[in-house]
Amino acid sequence: MKFNNNFKRQVNHPMSVTQQLINNQSYKLKTTSLTGILVAGVFFADKCRAEYGINFPPPAADVAQEIYNIHMLTMQITTVLLLIVFGFVFYSLYYHRKSRGFQADQDFHNSWFGNWSWVVVPVMVLGVDLTIAGKADAVLKKVWDVPKAENILDVKVTGHQWWWEFDYLDHGIKVESRYVPEKESGDLYLREVDNRLVLPTGQKIRFLHTSADVLHAFWVPELAVKKDAIPGYVTETWAELNREGVFRGQCAELCGTWHSRMPIVVESVSPQQFATWVDDQKAIKVAAAAEASADKTWSMDELMAKGKTLYDTKCAACHQVTGVGLPPAFPALKGSAMATGSIEAHLEIVIKGKEGTAMQPWGSLNDLEIAAIVTYERNAWDNNTGDVVQPSDVKQAR
């Protein structure tokens, strides 16, 4: 097992599978008439949200709750304004029609109202605007004011094409989070990941957002956090979870081919459970490091087995499990010059990536992992070069 726990392991995690399913179920629309939904949607969204996915899911943080409230407030204000406008228009449509014999009032615009409405109307709208802006401003300040508390948990969130990397900076833990194919995720397809973002309740968490390639955006509705991941930038957001649960979001900024396959799953647990999880992760990491640095020569079979697992999770999104790629964006590896030619060039492109393309540098993997992947690529799918690349070769190539 690698330093991040895989999907099966996650299933045993604090929240049970059934609970997760229930959690998900609750967003789904039950059978109700369309008009019912529409009416409900405008006015009673608040009450119906548990049954129908027509409003934000229930917030899981105090600031998120305030954002939710401001959303409901503006929605109610705008709904009232809308009804006023509709009221006047429909009154007029009914009474002021030629077929009812209504004579057009040619002097209407010369009345007092006609002369002053250009002042009256803007002042009224301004009043509404200031109400909204005033309420929003207070919440905005809180959202922007990232706390500088001592015991804040820093999580660096890096967007990649097409997975998320979560670095727990205080604990030296790194979690790679990828979507789970439909076969394994079933109803949660595109909302489930192999490794979740595990976070404690009751502690201020600071997210530091950046990207390794193109733009992405981290979005988890329950936390009311959305921030762009921009290469070259590090931006901050924060949250303090006030309840346990599993909260699902998705990448919100178009990031290329598999934009739809970048779910984010936050697993909110108690501080104790979080501490246990951190210890587990550290232990796994130590074991993996030991394995990689052991001065061992690996057999082809061992490398191929490791290589396949790693390739299928990390590389197959683009190059495909079958190695045929999706040309022209993602070249085939099966029978390619790169995977059957010089080992040095092959190692170089894996470690350094290729600029201007979606091929990113994979140098942050350890020597053993890269050795396994390269060995696998050189021998799988009838590439059969017979080359066995050892961790020591990788070390040299770096």
Partner 1 sequence: MTTTTLNHDEAHHHDMPTGWRRWLFSTNHKDIGTLYLLFALTMLFLGGASAMLIRLELFQPGIQLLDPDLYNNLVTNHALIMIFGAVMPAAAGLANWMIPMMIGAPDMALPRMNNLSFWILPAAATMLILSFIVPFFPGGGTQINTGWTLYPPLSVQVGMSMDFLIFAIHLLGISSVLASINIIVTLLNMRAPGMTLMTMPMFCWTWLVTAFLLILVVPVLAGGVTMLLFDRHFGTSFFDAAGGGDPVLFQHLFWFFGHPEVYILLLPSIGVLSHVIPAFSRKPLFGYKSMVGAMLTVATIGMVVWAHHQYTIGMSLGAVTYFMIGTILISIPVGLMIFNFIATMWRGAMTFETPMLFAVAIVLMFTFGGLSGVMLAVVPADMQYHDSMFVVAHFHYVLMPGAVFGLFAGVFYWLPKWTGHMYDETLGKIFFWTNVIGFNITFFPQHFLGLAGMPRRIVDYNMMFTEFNVISSIGAIIFGLSHLLLLYIVIKTIRGGKKAESRAWEGAKGLEWELDSPPAFHTWTVAPQIK
- Among positions 349-388, residues that touch partner 1 (CB under 8 A) are 356-358
Q: Which amino acid is at 103?
A: Q
Q: Is 88 one of the binding residues for partner 1 (CB under 8 A)?
A: yes
Q: Which of 2, 5, 15, 57 binds partner 1 (CB under 8 A)?
A: 57
Cβ proximity to partner 1, 51 vs 280, nearer residue: 51
231 binds partner 1 (CB under 8 A): yes
Binding mask 133-162 for partner 1 (x = CB under 8 A): x--xx-xxx-xxx-----------------
Taking the least distance from each CB to partner 1, the nearer of 251 and 303 is 251
Question: Quick check: 85 binds partner 1 (CB under 8 A)?
Answer: yes
Report helix, strand or coil for 91.
helix
Q: Which two tokens stand for residue 296?
A: 């061992």
109 binds partner 1 (CB under 8 A): yes
Query: Considering the complex, what minimum distance in angstroms separates the CB of residue 90 from partner 1?
Result: 9
Q: Looking at 4, 5, 10, 55, which residue binds partner 1 (CB under 8 A)? A: 55
**Shortest Å, Cβ 7 to partner 1:** 17
Q: Are 248 and 197 in contact (CB under 8 A)?
A: no
CA–CA gap between residue 229 and residue 355 (Å, rounded): 19
Question: Within 13 A of 164's CA, how many CA atoms are on the CB side?
Answer: 36
Sheet holding 163-168, edge to edge: 173-177, 163-168, 153-160, 204-211, 235-240
Q: CA-based angle 367:303:344, to the nearest 5?
A: 55
Query: Which of 230, 222, 221, 223 is CA-nearest to residue 159?
Result: 230
Helix (H/G/I), strand (E/B), else coil: 193: strand
Taking contact as CB under 8 A, which single stretch among the options 257-265, 284-292, 308-316, 385-393 is the one that binds partner 1? Answer: 257-265
Question: Which C-beta is closer to partner 1: that of 222 or that of 369?
Answer: 222
Rounded Cα distance between 225 and 200, Å, is 16
The residues facing 249 across adjacent strands are 264
Among residues 2, 3, 52, 366, the one that binds partner 1 under rule CB under 8 A: 52
Q: Would you say 276 and 284 are in contact if contact means Cβ atoms under 8 Å apart?
A: no
Of 19, 78, 270, 276, the residue at the interface with partner 1 (CB under 8 A) is 78
Instruction: Spell out, one character per residue from 270 to 309, where the chain touches partner 1: x when CB under 8 A holds, - when not.
Output: ----------------------------------------
Number of chain residues interacting with partner 1 (CB under 8 A): 103
